[in-house]
Structure 1
Amino acid sequence: MTTVIDFLNGLLWGYVLVYALTGIGIYFTLRFGFIQFRNFGEMIRLTVSTNEADKAGISPFQALAISLASRIGTGNLAGVAVAIGVGGPGAIFWMWIVALLGMATAMAEAALAQLYKTTGPNGSYRGGPAFYIARGLKMPWLGAVFSVCLIFAFGLVINAVQSNSIAQAMEASVGVPPKVSGLVIAAVTGLVIFGGIRAISRVAEVLVPFMAGIYMIVAVWVLLTNFGMLPDVFKSIFLSAFGLQEVAGGAAGGMMVALLNGVKRGLFSNEAGMGSAPNIAAAATPVPHHPVSQGFVQAFGVFVDTILVCTATAVMIIVSGANEMVDANGNMLEGIVMTQKAAEYFLGPFGNHFIAIAVLLFAFTTIIACYGYAESGMVYLKVGSSRGLAVLRLAVMAIVFWGSVQTVTVVFNAADAAIAVMAVMNLFALAMLSPVVIRLVSDYRAQRAAGKTPTFHISDHPDMADGVDAKIWK
């Protein structure tokens, strides 16, 4: 099994996704006229001013909170440490590039998810890549394949990564055995996910702003108290990104090592192009009533995840020198342990506990958000009945426990392979449907330029009506 996973990772990450993700991000960036910068103010405005919903949908802020719950997880703590440990400080530069390009990609996939969404068995909005593949590309069989991968990757594998990081952090911080952590997290997860999407949204909209806010306050304090070291930190990141630091020091490494690990961990963290966040973006009632409005909100989520939270973690690790520390056995620190040592450098013994608490909150909200994505796949496959969802929920609880007792390498490699397969299918769909989303953005901007509040009625766009639910966009 390990051989198969390694082969898939080598093929997809080494020869396909690095170029496909970068290419689609550049394409949408150019076609949208550098939307990351041109419409950044609109992203913020929509994010802070939208908290409306109807009986079929959750609010745009709740959708953002759930997507951030998924994005802001162990990728921001353990994932950043893995990127630096394997790819050097330069991996962070490539995480930034992936995020900036990914903002355009996230906008596109969220807008398409809104356009092609429908209503599920209980009358709630449902959508995502499986739906726009089936309705937009007329390839329902590929939508089914995507849904299976979504359930496997997000309902199961990625949740194992989250519980793995929680277990490591709890053991290093307060000596709790991994099995005990796994059992507790599995039980608490069950209490939330058995309440469905609306219960998840209520938990996420409270926990996500709280956890991200506290973490950023601590990170800003670290930056301000070590301001004089920041020029050297960013110099190290830029030199390492292009292999210059390793050449000068005579160490192994180089640009491709930094780039590959930065892209992998960047995608794992911000999820742009992966096809995950669109599943919850489709569940929102857009404000204003236009598919692009939710696209802007989700694009801002990528910015928050990587440019703010991941950068804060990276700076703490590099300034503290935790990426060059070794454990009692002489091995280089890896994963969440590296981030905990960095926090200890600034906060003393409390730093270890602070990161453990952060991991607990970040990873737990990621687990429940990822379950929400998997629910969308179940609905598409028409197995989203109460019995089918009960089976999924029990499986999620079981995998949370399993992940808590696995090794970092095994769990992360399995997650990389599952993400890669999903991303390939989603990127194919985004490329094929790019003319549609480009028209949507142009329509939104034209209405804004005319001083109107953008609204979308499918009757005004009859050539796009095929596959669109007319009742939703009447």
Structure 2
Amino acid sequence: MQQLNDFLSVIDSYIGSAGWFPFALLGVGLFFTIYLKFPQIRYFGFAFKILRGKFDKAGDQGDTSHFQALTTALSGTVGTGNIAGVALAVHLGGPAALFWMVVTAAIGMCTKFVEVTLSHKYREVAQDGTMAGGPMYYMKNKLNMKWLAVVFAVATVLSSFGTGNMPQINSISSALKSTFAIEPWMTGAVLSVILAFVIIGGIKRIASVTEKLVPAMAIVYFIGCFSVIFANLENLIPSITSIFSSLFTTTAATGGFLGATIMYAFNVGVGRGLFSNEAGQGSAPIAHASAKGHEPVSEGMVAILEPFIDTIIICSITGLTLLSSGVWQEKHLNDFAVTDMSILAGHDYTDDNKPGRVALKEHLSGENPLPVFDGMLQVENGKITSVVTVIHARSLAEDITVNESFGGSPLTGEVEISNGKPVDGSISFYGKSLIHSVPLTAIAFTKGWFGDYGQYIVSIGILLFAFSTAISWSYYGDRAMTFLWGSGSVKYYRIVYVAGFFIAAIADTTIIWTVAAIAIAVMTLPNLLGIFLLRKDMKSTIADYWKGMKEEFPDEKTPE
């Protein structure tokens, strides 16, 4: 597993985690923001009129309403990115990462407006009579670049597993195991059956589920978040201040957090922001292409609301919950993930003074790596007797117990260590360190008015959020398969999708996040290229839209 994760990390380092990727993502969005004169601001209020169906016509083609398309797309984005992803961003980049998540969303509102408008404009009717759309159709029908459309469609199929499938069920199974002690295989089995039932019904059944599920789960989650924020109200202003104070300086070390550089916080925030709202990835346009409508720009305006709801509202509230509770900088007892652990040779490292923090931080950043341990680690009754230092989750681990297996008896004997990591993955390391993802958010929710019961809100939230994401992403993969091999191929895709959902329930979390990062990048790049090439088409489409609105609704005040 470690070798596989290392290999995938190398691939990701050249694309999604490369220094140029966030600049490409934000650059295209910023270009359209200026080129189209800030449509995410000018059209924001008008989007609500469209959402209510004010300008709909009886004969509009499509499978879903504007609201159903929005909730389907939101269910595809409101998932682990809002609960686990925000916690991971704060864990890695500190408070400043939240700012860059919000900036990514603000710019992404324009990017999503463009990609949805173009995808809706060039959609087609599939062999089975349903609407089929997405970036692959404007690439084929307008750009005449079928090869690029194929690349995007293949990437969409892969991304449906790397974004919508594997990380979602893994987060669900982890949350239910830690909260209710439900074995991951049981969670995977039950939810796989439910998933199969929903997605077999196609977009109409998916939309009917998501239009009810999304509002309900948002209300439940908000109640949990505000219970923590109001219970720690004295920390709210300092938390907000920390977001901005660390923007242009290295995030200071605090508690178990060893600090983060400006660029690292920027890269993490943009990366997590994209994973959360998927603006520029080209996924949401596939859902919006199913909406009933005769004007593509109208559906593009509805899409403006997505990053605002998903990231600017939900992710910001999650971030303030984490910061105000203070748990992001505290060490907590947890089972160590082997892929997130490193054993250093020697015991001269500490995080209770500045030199020690600097040395550990430079080791984690790769700037000045410390020597790792190789050989046989001596353990007696669960306690390490060799002279080593254990790093886990980017923090100095404490109170470590080595067990024969997860939940097993304390080990006495030798553990083979290669390049700082245990060779036998079945051996469990348990102790205090920083934590991230779902477990971090779960602990934060226990610091509110609900006390220990708060963790149940996170478990229920991650179950609903992540499961709805898996439902929506199955539709994205469905449409990509329809584009590549026709409607007949969809049934085979659904079988593999459900099987992958079950398998990922028991897979390694770190590897799944790495796969997701790669899939996002491979899908995003063709889409960014495509919408940039169609910039003039987009501008003329908007001009024609407002011209038609004036003729059809002369008394309507429009923000053209």
Change (3 A) 1:55 1:102: closer
- Greater radius of gyration (CA): 2
Counterpart amino acid of residue 467 in structure 2: F
Q: Does 1:5 align with 2:107?
A: no
For the pair 1:442 / 2:543, whether they are aligned, the reply is: yes
In the TM superposition, 1:50-61 aligns within 5 A as 56-61=62-67
CA distance in 2, matches of 1:381, 1:116: 16
Q: Does 1:33 align with 2:37?
A: yes
Q: CA deviation at 1:327?
A: 2.5
Taking structure 1 as reference, are residues 432 and 79 closer, same or farther at Cα in structure 2, changes over 3 Å only? same
CA 1:152–1:190 in 2, change beyond 3 Å: closer, same or farther? same
2:474 alignment counterpart: 371
Q: 1:334-383: CA deviations, max 9, x gaps?
A: 11000000111112121111100000000110000000111110111133
1:82 correspondence with 2:85: no
Task: Quote the residue 1:382 is aligned against.
Answer: 485
Distance in 1 of aligned mates of 2:100 and 2:498: 34
Q: Counterparts of 1:249-398 in structure 2 under 5 Å?
A: 251-286=258-293, 289-328=294-333, 329-346=431-448, 347-385=450-488, 388-398=489-499
Paired position in structure 2 for 1:457 = none
- Tell me which protein shows more helix as a share of its residues: 1
SS in 1 for 2:19: helix
Who is 2:531 aligned against?
430
2:233/2:324 contact within 8 Å kept:
no
Matched residue, 1:66: 72
- Deviation of 1:52 (Å): 7.8
Which blocks of at least 5 consecutive residues in structure 2 are unaligned? 334-430, 556-560
Distance between the aligned counterparts of 1:243 and 1:170, measured in 2? 38
- In the other structure, the counterpart of 1:462 is none
> What SS is found at the alignment partner of 1:241?
coil
Residue correspondence of structure 1 range 12-27 to structure 2 within 5 A: 12-13=15-16, 14-27=18-31
CA contact (8 A) 1:247 1:254 kept: no
Contact 2:66–2:299 (8 Å) recurs in 1: yes
Aligned residues: 451
Which residue number corresponds to residue 465 of structure 1? none
The answer to which of 321-330 and 255-264 deviates more is 321-330
The letter of the residue matching 1:172 is S
1:411 maps to 512
Residue aligned with 2:20, SS:
helix
TM-score, normalised with respect to structure 1: 0.90
Do the aligned partners of 1:157 and 1:418 also contact (CA within 8 Å) in 2? yes
Distance 1:303 1:439, change over 3 A: same
Q: CA deviation at 1:193?
A: 0.7
- Displacement after TM superposition at 1:246 (Å): 2.1
Indicate if the aligned counterparts of 1:107 and 1:298 stay in contact, CA closer than 8 A. yes
In structure 1, what is the Cα distance between the partners aligned to 2:234 and 2:52? 33
Counterpart in 2 of 1:151?
157
92 and 453 in structure 1: CA distance in 2 versus 1, 3 angstrom threshold: farther
Q: Find the aligned partners of 2:233 and 2:433 in 1 and give their Cα distance.
A: 30
Residues 296 and 168 from structure 1, CA distance in 2 versus in 1: closer, same or farther, beyond 3 angstroms? same
Going from structure 1 to structure 2, the CA distance change for 1:292 and 1:55 (only over 3 Å counts) comes to closer
Alpha-carbon offset, residue 224 of structure 1: 4.4
Give the drift of 1:220. Answer: 4.0
Equivalent residue runs for 1:103-142 within 5 Å: 103-142=109-148
How much has 1:231 moved relative to structure 2?
A: 1.7
Would you say the 8 A contact 1:73–1:359 is kept in 2? yes
- For 1:376 and 1:112, how far apart are their aligned partners in 2? 16
Contact kept, 8 Å, 2:228 with 2:325, in 1: the verdict is: no
Question: What is the CA–CA distance in structure 2 between the aligned matches of 1:453 and 1:21, rounded to whole Å?
Answer: 38
Change (3 A) 1:425 1:7: same
* Percent of matched pairs sharing the same residue: 33
**What does residue 470 of structure 1 align with?**
none
For 2:549 and 2:249, the matched residues in 1 are separated by 44
Match of 1:167 among 152, 163, 173: 173
Judging changes above 3 Å, is the alpha-carbon distance between structure 1 residues 372 and 225 closer, same or farther for their aligned structure 2 residues?
A: same
The structural deviation recorded for 1:101 is 0.2
Structure 1 gap ranges (5+): 455-474
The residue identity in structure 2 corresponding to 1:10 is S
Counterparts of 2:531 and 2:433 in 1: how far apart (Å)? Answer: 43
TM-aligned CA distance change 1:252 to 1:350, over 3 Å? closer
Are the equivalent residues in 1 in contact too, given 2:65–2:292 (CA < 8 A)?
A: yes
Alignment CA distance shift 1:63-1:45 (3 Å): same
| Greater displacement, 149-158 / 302-311 | 149-158
The letter for the 2-side match of 1:40 is: F
SS at match of 1:352: helix
8 Å CA contact 2:221, 2:457 repeated in 1: no
Structure 2 residue aligned with 1:176:
182
Shift of 1:214: 2.5
What's the CA shift string for 1:241-278, capped at 9, x where partnerless? 33344289995411111111101110001000001001
Deviation at 1:169, TM superposition (A): 0.5
Distance 1:184 1:126 in 2: 30
